[in-house]
Structures are given as structure tokens and as C-alpha cells.
Amino acid sequence: MLIYLKITEIFCIVDEFYKEYDKVVDASLLGNLSKRPSIMSKSEAITRCILFRLSGFRTFKHFYIFYVQKHMLVVLQCLPL
């Protein structure tokens, strides 16, 4: 399916984008920030969505159950932060 080095490369590109994006967006946000921090970073969530679109699965549920949980959970947890 996808080579693990490509997954790391995709994650790094998305992470660099979100570092710059958060700087710009945080300056213009109104209201209070959430008190509870999220468990999954924005970069990790978007990386999973990109991998789903590249995978060929028709639904995200099937992609997550049959591919991520069986083959990629260790890889996605070891991504650089």
C-alpha cells in the first residue's frame, strides 16, 4: 500500500504547515481556548485523512478498521512530534 517512509514524509510536511498555520490563526481567534488539550494533534489527524484518500478504501471506517488498526498503528504512534 504505502511505504512507511512516505508516511513519515507526509506527516512532516503537514506538521510544518500546521506550525505556520497555527501562528497565523491563533493571532486572529476570538474567545477562549479549550481547557482540555486534544489527544491527537492536528497534523496526525490530517495525515490519517490524507492516507485514507490515497488508500483506495471507500469509507474511513473500513480504512481505519482493516488497515490502520492492523498495519499502521505502531507507525502512526512513532511519528516525530
Q: Does the residue 7 lie in any domain?
A: no
Could you tell me if 41 and 80 are in contact, meaning their C-beta atoms sit under 8 angstroms apart? no
- Check residue 32 and give its pLDDT: 80
* pLDDT tens over the chain, length 81 residues: 567 778 889 989 999 999 999 899 888 888 887 788 888 888 989 998 998 999 889 999 999 898 888 877 766 666 555
Domain housing 50: 42-81
Q: Does the residue 17 lie in any domain?
A: no
Q: Does the residue 29 lie in any domain?
A: no
Q: Please tell me the total count of domains within the chain.
A: 1
φ/ψ region of 33 (left if φ > 0, alpha if ψ in -120 to 50, else beta) reads beta
Q: Does the residue 57 lie in any domain?
A: yes
d(CA 18, CA 62) in angstroms, rounded, equals: 27
Q: Does the residue 53 lie in any domain?
A: yes
The pTM of this model reads 0.76
Q: Does the residue 56 lie in any domain?
A: yes
